[in-house]
Amino acid sequence: MVSVLEERNFPVETLRLFASGRSEGNLIPFRGSPVRIERLTPDSFSRDIDLLFLSAGTAISREYAPIAAKLGIFVVDNSSCWRMEEAVPLVVPEVNSDALRLEKKIIANPNCSTIQMVCALYPLHLRARIKRIIVSTYQAVSGAGQKAIVELESQIKDLAEGNPVKPVVFPHQIAHNLIPQIDVFLENGYTKEEMKMVNETRKIMGDDSLMITATCVRVPVYIGHSEVVTVDFSEKISAAEATEILKSAPGISVIDDPDRSLYPLPILAAGRDEVFVGRIRKDLSCENGISFWVVSDNLRKGAALNAVQIGESLLQKKYLSCDGF
């Protein structure tokens, strides 16, 4: 998140960094100078802070976001804590920046797999209203945190050396494997991650009538979530028209040349800001259906970049004051 602020030349007058006592005193570089990490306490915030990015888990967000909001600070929260609260905007700037309000200080950053999907869906939804969405995800281990990355690395090494594998972060071996479970199972047979995609998509796109089913799978990829999305529209739309719409959509890059085996790949999306779409084709099982493939860096557009873009939207709306933005 700090890197994205620097890369996009976000107008930061003073950067303050907060963490737990374990990180207090550590230094993080920002624009050529070290910034010392402060210990987070209920008294950390002051009225001279304009914007707070929170990415420390649900419990921290639940405790500290209201404290900051009461001081008039805009809070962009990266956890799942506030996403489905009715009074809290859930924002993907390319889709619903109009949900931002001066009086709504807490703003939720959506789930990574939801963000990239709605970026591709929304411009098509504007052309021909979507009735049903079927999505299957192939989600990188980095979505489960640094410990998950280390687990994949260590398991690959252990298997190469003939050593037994001991899963800790995931319920099963992730190296050379797929796990059709992300987060816990709910009573309806779906996982929490799958229901996030259902509920968050409806809220972001402002349509509770959308029929959505999701299957979320963890795959042995370090960075970059991939999704196959099949959409049933209210009226006919050709693959060629869908392609042209997506080519002109904000934040979307279309890579779709089957003759040359060109399509989005997670290794190409890693470190990039775009949401990549390819394999755009007519769904043969449905009269008004289109299927496509979506790939994006889950740590950037799926988290840090989208949060910073929300901050940029607040600036553009003049909810935050800054000369020259």
pLDDT over 60 at 323, yes or no: no
pLDDT over 70 at 322, yes or no: no
Where are any strands of DSSP class E within 20-174? 27-30, 33-39, 51-54, 74-77, 106-108, 130-139
Same-domain pairing of 135 and 56: no
Give residue-wise pLDDT tens across range 30-51: 999 999 999 999 999 998 999 9
**What is residue 324's predicted lDDT score, i.e. its pLDDT?**
45
pLDDT over 50 at 84, yes or no: yes
pLDDT over 60 at 325, yes or no: no
pLDDT over 50 at 160, yes or no: yes
Band of the pLDDT at 14, cuts 50, 70, 90?
very high
The C-alpha atoms of residue 207 and residue 214 are separated, in whole angstroms, by 17
Is residue 81 annotated as a catalytic residue, yes or no? no
Q: Are 310 and 91 in contact (CB under 8 A)?
A: yes
For residue 84, what are the domain limits?
2-110+303-316
**Catalytic-role residue among 112, 119, 125, 216:** 112
Give residue-wise pLDDT tens across range 20-31: 999 999 999 999
Asked if residue 325 belongs to a domain, the reply is no
Same-domain pairing of 135 and 281: yes
Same-domain pairing of 76 and 128: no
**What is residue 47's predicted lDDT score, i.e. its pLDDT?**
87
State how many domains the chain has.
Answer: 2
Q: Are 77 and 108 in contact (CB under 8 A)?
A: yes
**Catalytic-role residue among 81, 119, 125, 225:** 225
What's the CATH code of the domain at 43?
3.40.50.720
Residue 9, CA distances (Å) to 5, 14, 244, 323 in order: 6, 13, 31, 13
Same-domain pairing of 70 and 15: yes
Asked if residue 324 belongs to a domain, the reply is no
Asked if residue 212 belongs to a domain, the reply is yes
Asked if residue 155 belongs to a domain, the reply is yes
Asked if residue 321 belongs to a domain, the reply is no
What's the CATH code of the domain at 210?
3.30.360.10
The C-alpha atoms of residue 314 and residue 105 are separated, in whole angstroms, by 11
Same-domain pairing of 89 and 15: yes
pLDDT over 70 at 299, yes or no: yes
Asked if residue 214 belongs to a domain, the reply is yes
Same-domain pairing of 138 and 35: no
Q: Are 141 and 221 in contact (CB under 8 A)?
A: yes
Same-domain pairing of 124 and 265: yes
Asked if residue 273 belongs to a domain, the reply is yes
pLDDT over 50 at 111, yes or no: yes
Same-domain pairing of 49 and 155: no
Give residue-wise pLDDT tens across range 200-230: 999 999 999 999 999 999 999 999 999 999 9
Is residue 112 annotated as a catalytic residue, yes or no? yes
Same-domain pairing of 283 and 312: no
Asked if residue 158 belongs to a domain, the reply is yes
The C-alpha atoms of residue 137 and residue 323 are separated, in whole angstroms, by 41
